[in-house]
Amino acid sequence: MADTDMELWPQEDNIRLWHAIIQGPGETPFEGGTFELRIEVGTDYPIRPPVIRFVTHIFHPNIHFETGEICLDILKKEWSPAWSLQTACRAVVALLAAPDAESPLNCDAGNMLRGGDVRAYNAMARLYTVEYGSATRRG
């Protein structure tokens, strides 16, 4: 993959299971972090979207802390068969830079942002990035 901020590869023994390492976007609490994603591609891909989850723990309103589930419209009803796995991963990176507090999977993060406590949200997100955001390619 040509992206310097992303690696994407299939699992050796299962072409329907992919992994990605993404870099946290600059000027966000995720900057400098590396995060692993697990991507499951169904038999109906690309008609249906892949299932993408964070393996790396991350503090973000649209990402469930325990399961890594991502709330992102293009991974649900707005999916287009024209989009690739790389495009989907780029959308996840964009979500890190632009959280949507109105549809939280992590209520604590969502409440901080909805309540206007951006400083507390940024501090928590940064703490989790420093603590957990050091994924490396496992192939």
Closest CA to 125 of 103, 101, 91, 102: 101
Of the listed ranges 13-22, 109-118, 130-139, the one predicted with least confidence: 130-139
The domain spans of the chain are 6-132
Alpha-carbon distances of 139 from 18, 58, 82, rounded to whole Å: 9, 21, 26
pTM of the model: 0.93
Residue 138 reports pLDDT greater than 90: no
Of the listed ranges 51-55, 105-109, 133-137, the one predicted with least confidence: 133-137
What is the fold, at CATH topology level, of the domain defined by 6-132? Ubiquitin Conjugating Enzyme (3.10.110)
Question: What's the chain's length in residues?
Answer: 139
**Catalytic residue flag (residue 71):** yes
**pLDDT (tens digit, 9 = 90+) per residue, 9-58?**
999 999 999 999 999 999 999 999 999 999 999 999 999 999 999 999 99
User: Which one is catalytic: 25, 38, 64, 71?
Assistant: 71
